[in-house]
Structure 1
């Protein structure tokens, strides 16, 4: 352990190839690049589709990577990919299963170049479960996430960000690193569907074991803990999350509420309790309640916009070339990530025959 920042990250010396578009796969490899891995983005001559969204969008998923243009629809392109794979530790592919197999991007195809390479297939439904169009919002709808989001008497809705893609990217990165630690090559299969079902863990367990069907609750109320939801205040909304009796005692003391001393009582008298808490919270602003409750150790926060949150957390913003971006969420003692700029298309090499029709990735 060194006292100062290390010159290289924990994944220094690990070489990762990425083939894919837009979000889940690129987010996975960016997390690895932030930890010191050398990530080479294999792009068709037309580039990752996220380049067409906006420069800042592309930068938010691709900082610190290399870019090589290859047309995998050509023998030369596939041969060059094989050369790169022979020196790589891992390959993350974010394409539909038929494309992964057609262009030889699974382990059975890549092992001819490198027996020890770890290949990660990041798909919508799994490497063996078909080519159905799989996008973040579609999977949130299909797996029950949308049905659990929103007001009880309103329509289903979606979070304001790509929860499925980001979660699956992190899971893919974990799967890759876990297999690398084994010292063996092989195939890792991660799907958006499976990740979202996994993240509904206690909701699924309640249904499968106790017959409790998940339902939406007013103000996003938790299915087990009371009070644990959003509350309107004199100004703004407050998120309050009371998960045990100690939190309740601290909150009740500050709020001047008597009774409801046990979790069982709070659950059984949910509606009565919520009316009491809701009435008290309207006597002050969300910002003031946060300031009053946090010193008592009560989990509470005023609802803020993203710009407000970023202004309050300046350390979460870093510079990568010409872009200001959100830093890696992984903090390792003694290591400070070097946030490189996003690569220009083909900055580190081009296919020898770029004029042929590119493979649709």
Structure 2
């Protein structure tokens, strides 16, 4: 892979979503990511939807795995086997980064703890993504609890402010309880790699899914601190900004935001209600919040007389707005096409599939080439042959 991280080698011991998404970001940016899987493979290989002919995880995989394991190579090792553990050490010796997302203590039991690997490979950056973090950076009463996205969303506070009301907490549709920790881990890894380049010493990088979702939900912390009350869900409106939400149109719905007084004045004028911008009840954001029901009623009454496209056309460039797109809408949107946010990759079943592209765009850097996710152990021989050639070259250089 070409890219700013070309030459960086990452040993990827992760599975499912949080870890693989993190290493996928590194791979998209040019890192050589070697996914180390046990004989059973990443459990996500079995999860759908499956293209026709892709039901066998050993010979293929479903969409879940395909989406976040692109641009990686797969090596199959049984880390409980002493011979395979030695092969793993050979792999780690040439690596810059190791990423895993087991529960705390699992790698220790395998004899592959951060401390043992750091002694052997001092410059190696070791990253762990866990539900509740690692005691090396701060213990948790939930240390041994397993976690998935929905658990992180619930415990980190996100679900407490998502939904129509407090009686019906709602998770966010995408797996943000996995994906946001993954992004933060990638940031931490790159910071630690930079430090290791300067000092020669790697560092343990720890991201807890709970912590990441709490950080993502930062607004609820200061709201509770200042007001003494825990914020509750309020549908698609905002507790601090107004108007800032979703309104029905004659043909669907649009999201719009006019919390600044300038945007509100523009919106009022476009609606044919310029007097609303001069009315003391609506002139400021705080005033509009106090009279939010009237504000949304006025906006909704106007929007329902128009189609979604017409609302967007009238507001575009003047008031922040956008349609509530479905996946099918996005697939037809010129933005997604022009910015390569839907890309096609090959699939072992034969027919190519579409996955989300890389959102990190670097000026002057070509769009990454997307290689399909690997079959289980597809590159084992290739990777260890490279390691053998590298060892031979190093010996020759010494002699």
TM-score by length of structure 2 reads 0.82
Q: Does 1:231 align with 2:247?
A: yes
> What residue in structure 2 maps to residue 207 of structure 1?
224
Equivalent position to 2:374, from 334, 343, 359: 343
Cα displacement string for residues 166-221 of structure 1 (whole angstroms, at most 9, x for unaligned residues): 1111111111001111123010110100000001112211112332421111x421
Q: 1:69·1:349 contact (CA, 8 Å) conserved in 2?
A: yes
Cα offset for 1:105?
4.1
1:266 and 1:105 map into 2 onto residues whose CA distance is 58
Q: 1:85·1:113 contact (CA, 8 Å) conserved in 2?
A: no
Q: 1:83·1:113 contact (CA, 8 Å) conserved in 2?
A: no
Does the C-alpha gap of structure 1 residues 262 and 16 become closer, same or farther in structure 2, counting only changes over 3 Å?
same
Aligned Cα RMSD in Å? Answer: 1.8
Q: Does 1:310 align with 2:331?
A: yes
2:262 and 2:4 map into 1 onto residues whose CA distance is 39
Equivalent position to 1:14, from 5, 8, 33: 8
> What residue in structure 2 maps to residue 45 of structure 1?
39
> What residue in structure 2 maps to residue 186 of structure 1?
203
Q: Does 1:329 align with 2:340?
A: no
1:38 and 1:253 map into 2 onto residues whose CA distance is 54
- Mapping of residues 82-161 of structure 1, within 5 Å: 82-128=89-135, 129=140, 130-152=143-165, 155-161=168-174
2:120 and 2:313 map into 1 onto residues whose CA distance is 59
Equivalent position to 2:345, from 296, 320, 345: 320
1:22 and 1:77 map into 2 onto residues whose CA distance is 23
**Between Structure 1 and Structure 2, how many residues are aligned?**
344
2:111 and 2:134 map into 1 onto residues whose CA distance is 13
Equivalent position to 1:262, from 263, 284, 301: 284
1:159 and 1:80 map into 2 onto residues whose CA distance is 41
Which 4+ residue blocks in structure 1 deviate beyond 6 angstroms?
none
Unaligned runs of 5+ in 2: 49-61, 277-281, 347-351, 385-399
> What residue in structure 2 maps to residue 356 of structure 1?
none
Does the C-alpha gap of structure 1 residues 345 and 131 become closer, same or farther in structure 2, counting only changes over 3 Å?
same
Q: 1:286·1:301 contact (CA, 8 Å) conserved in 2?
A: no
1:56 and 1:264 map into 2 onto residues whose CA distance is 46
Cα offset for 1:106?
3.7
Cα displacement string for residues 97-153 of structure 1 (whole angstroms, at most 9, x for unaligned residues): 121321244421211331000000110001123220111111211222122111127
Cα offset for 1:77?
2.1
Q: 2:160·2:166 contact (CA, 8 Å) conserved in 1?
A: no
> What residue in structure 1 maps to residue 23 of structure 2?
29
2:103 and 2:132 map into 1 onto residues whose CA distance is 9
Equivalent position to 1:65, from 72, 90, 95: 72
| 1:220 partner SS | coil
| 1:156 partner SS | coil
Unaligned runs of 5+ in 1: 1-6, 353-361
1:290 and 1:142 map into 2 onto residues whose CA distance is 37
Cα displacement string for residues 303-349 of structure 1 (whole angstroms, at most 9, x for unaligned residues): 12112112212231112333322110000012121211211110111
| 2:263 partner SS | helix
2:369 and 2:184 map into 1 onto residues whose CA distance is 23
| 1:112 partner SS | helix
- Mapping of residues 235-254 of structure 1, within 5 Å: 235-254=251-270
Cα offset for 1:300?
0.9
> What residue in structure 1 maps to residue 392 of structure 2?
none
Of the two structures, which has the highest relative contact order with CA contacts closer than 8 Å and spacing of 6 or more? 1
